[in-house]
Chain A
Amino acid sequence: MAVARVVGQAEARLEGCRTVEVDLAAVESIDGAGAVLLARCLDRLDASGLTTRVIEGRNPDAARLVALYRRSRLVGGAAAHPQTMSALTRLGIATAGLPRQLTDALDFIGRCAAAVPKALVRPRSVDWRSLPALLQSIGADAVLVTGAANLLVGVIIALLGVSQLGRFGAVAYVPELVVVAQFRELGPLVTAIVVAGRSGAGLASEIATMKVSEEIDALRAMGFDPIRWLVLPRCLALVAVVPILTWIGDVLALVGGLAATSLITEMTPRAYVLATERTITATNFFGGLIKTPFLALVIGLIACGQGLATRGGAAAVGARTTTAVVLAIFGVIVINAVFTLFLALLGL
């Protein structure tokens, strides 16, 4: 720090000089950083046309260190300073990259679609043996968290219904509200979001790690198609499991609604069950369940696609996992909205 101060002051006072002599005789000790600052100062003076000279005095070590840093700069050639980009530049770069990202995504979806008939022709090119473990980790292990989330959503809908419908004396309609809201919208949505966060991150980071540790390259070099071998079973497991998780969640949400309503209102559990039974129609039930395989597919494709697109090291795995989760949750919400709109247009 002392060197930084001295160098800074000295440079300002040297204006008008022709020859500069640096006498190291009084230097007690100098470290690498100090030598760098001194070397750069001498470089600048040289560049502005002055003649510089270092007098080593009884300090040959310090002189050697300064000389080393001056020489290494000459050999290596100075790299351009990394320029900090303005927000507008970054926005431009990001925008310019969008078409490429879109074509990459479409390319990946296309290859996944093409992999399905190929897998049917050659069933052995799919890693069926991993399927039970995948069903376990994506499905069975997730029941607790998706179930709890849906139970609480049921409670929340019921509480909202009681507070709002109760103002009109229409508490009797709370069971119907719980069924319609949960079965058609919130059940599939909440379940898929929990699965996207949980399994989306898991699958993306697993495949990303395989990518950076050359396992994907090894698969390809052995004649395997990573999409058929890895992506297909994962998507299949998700498509099989998410509807079941949603259905279990629906049941638990009804329990939550029942508990909340019968606790805070006069409605008996029996009356609640009877009112619920009437409203569980095929339209309500299947109107929600029909979208769950598509939500599952979105999660699987985004997680696996991000995993396979990973390049680099550990930091890239983390970044891809984050992107996968964000995109998967966003994708789930968008697909859910599309279905809702579509069913509404159909009048269902």
Chain B
Amino acid sequence: MTSTRPHIIVDDLRIGWGSHVLMEHVDFQVERGTTFAILGGSGSGKSTLLRYLIGLDRPKAGRIDIDGVGSPHVHGGVPPFGVLFQSGALFSSMTLAENLALPLTTWTPVRGATVWELCQAKLDLVGLGPFGEHLPGEISGGMKKRAGIARAMMLEPDLLFFDEPSAGLDPISAVELDQLIITLSRDMGITVVIVTHELPSIFLVANDCIVLDKAAKGIVARGDPRKLRDESAIPFVHGFFTRTSLASSGTQGG
């Protein structure tokens, strides 16, 4: 944890399908312990970029290095991070407690009552203490996301990825989720990478970000989101942070 090396290094990444290039020359670094936001409009490829970062797809070119161990799709076994998917992606045939226990029983020698104790601790942490025996189908969308976070944290990773955590949540649940992310980052020192386009959430939790634009096929701005809002001269970035449409100014947007 004392290392000053960036937690994630992305170097000249190019992604796409077949001959279609979605993004190229994607370079950025995520410092240890920061909350890093990947921003952009709908269809700008934020969630797609996340798939590459967590190793679900192979880039056409370029390098992703997480924690100095190299690209996430190269090493087998325990991934050095946890992921919260947009829908929570809990296994619908298992109870919440079983969902949480799965990574533990598969990747660690922990067995028996200890497993359930650890699961209960994580459920309590995300405020789902009494729901361990519920099936994912029996709880609300916000609860599913919190359960997803709990599952992502079962192996005590120091890096968490969130795919649009507050999408489809009511304002109060969204703020609660943001508070949880802040807790994880500040109190537990976890590096958080969050894909989102929810402005209130960005200014609340993120201290570094990149902005993706479909038209530019890559990153158009990077830095502290508050600074970008106040100082960026790029019309798309300014419009994104201040919620002004570009259609009126005649500039192409993503």
Q: Which chain A residues have a beta carbon within 8 Å of chain B's beta carbons?
A: 75, 124-125, 210, 213-215, 217-218, 220-224
Chain B nearest CB: distance from A218 CB in Å?
Answer: 4
How long is the Cα–Cα vector from A124 to B51 in the complex, in angstroms? 26
How close is A230's CB to chain B, nearest CB, in angstroms?
Answer: 11
Residue contact A221 to B55, C-beta cutoff 8 Å: yes
User: Looking at the complex, which of B85-93, B188-196, B217-225, B233-241 is the stretch in contact with chain A?
Assistant: B85-93
Contact, CB under 8 Å: B83 / A218: yes
B130 contacts the other chain (Cβ, under 8 Å)? no
A120 to chain B, nearest CB (A): 16
Q: Is the CB of A223 within 8 A of B79?
A: yes
A32 to chain B, nearest CB (A): 21
Give which listed residue, B85, B105, B106, B247, contacts A218 with CB less than 8 A: B85
Q: Judge if B182 is at the interface, Cβ distance under 8 Å.
A: no
Find the B residue at minimum CB distance from A217. B56
Assembled-state Cα–Cα distance A222/B78 (Å)? 7
User: Which of B56, B86, B105 is in CB contact (< 8 Å) with A220?
Assistant: B56
Selected contact of A214 from candidates B89, B102, B106, B247, CB within 8 Å: B89
The smallest C-beta distance from A245 to any residue of chain B, in angstroms, reads 24
Which residue of chain A is the closest to B73 with respect to CB atoms? A220
Residue of B nearest to A76 (CB): B247
**Chain A residues whose C-beta falls within 8 Å of the C-beta of B85 in the assembled complex:** 214, 217-218, 221
Q: A213-B92, A221-B54, A222-B102 are in contact. List 9 more A-B contacts (CB 8 A).
A: A215-B89, A215-B92, A217-B51, A217-B56, A217-B85, A218-B89, A220-B55, A220-B56, A222-B106
| Whole-angstrom CA separation of A218 from B76 in the bound complex | 15
- Can you list 17 A-B pairs with a CB-CB distance of less than 8 A? A75-B247, A213-B89, A213-B92, A214-B85, A217-B51, A217-B56, A217-B85, A217-B89, A218-B85, A220-B56, A221-B54, A222-B102, A222-B106, A223-B77, A223-B103, A223-B107, A224-B106
| CB <8 Å contact, B76 and A214 | no
Contact status A221-B79, CB under 8 Å: yes
What residues of A have a CB within 8 angstroms of the CB of B54 in the complex?
221
The residue on A at minimum CB distance from B161 is A221
A223: chain B residues at CB < 8 Å are 76-79, 103, 106-107
Closest 9 CB pairs of A and B: A218-B89, A214-B89, A221-B83, A214-B85, A223-B79, A221-B54, A215-B89, A223-B78, A222-B103
Q: Report the Cα distance A223→B86, complex, angstroms.
A: 18
Q: With A and B bound together, what is the CA distance between A214 and B247 in angstroms? A: 34
Minimum CB–CB distance for B26 against chain A, Å? 20
Within 8 A of A (CB), among B64-109: 76-79, 83, 85-87, 89-92, 102-103, 105-107
User: Which A residues touch B77, using CB under 8 A?
Assistant: 223
Are A214 and B87 touching (Cβ within 8 A)?
Answer: yes
Question: Cβ of B92 and Cβ of A221 under 8 Å apart?
Answer: no
User: How distant is the Cα of A220 from the Cα of B105 in the complex, in angstroms?
Assistant: 16
A218 CA / B90 CA spacing, docked (Å): 8
Identity of the chain B residue whose Cβ is nearest the Cβ of A220 in the assembled complex:
B56
Given the interface pairs A221-B55, A221-B56, the reply to whether A215 lies near B79 with Cβ below 8 Å is: no
Chain B's closest residue to A215 (CB) is B89
Given the complex, which residues of A lie within 8 Å of B56, measured CB to CB? 217, 220-221
* C-alpha spacing A217/B163, complex, angstroms: 12
Tell me the complex Cα distance, A210–B92, Å: 9
- The residues in B between 229 and 253 inclusive whose CB is less than 8 angstroms from any CB of A are 247
Nearest A residue to B98 by beta-carbon distance?
Answer: A129
Q: In the docked arrangement, what's the CA distance between A222 and B106, Å?
A: 10
Please state if B87 and A213 are interface contacts (CB–CB under 8 Å). yes
Which chain B residue shows the least CB distance to A133? B93
Q: Which residue of A lies closest to B51 (CB)?
A: A217
CB distance from A125 to the nearest CB of B (A): 7
* Whole-angstrom CA separation of A218 from B77 in the bound complex: 14
Question: How many angstroms between the C-alpha atoms of A153 and B224 in the bound complex?
Answer: 73
Q: Contacts A222-B79, A223-B76; is A214 near B103 (CB within 8 Å)?
A: no
Give the shortest distance, in Å, between A35 (CB) and chain B (any CB).
21
Q: Complex Cα distance A215/B90, Å? A: 6
**Given the complex of chains A and B, what is the CA–CA distance between A224 and B105 in angstroms?**
12
Q: Give the distance to chain A from B127, nearest Cβ to Cβ, in Å.
A: 21
Bound CA–CA A224/B78 (angstroms): 9
How far is the CB of A336 from the nearest CB of chain B, in Å? 33
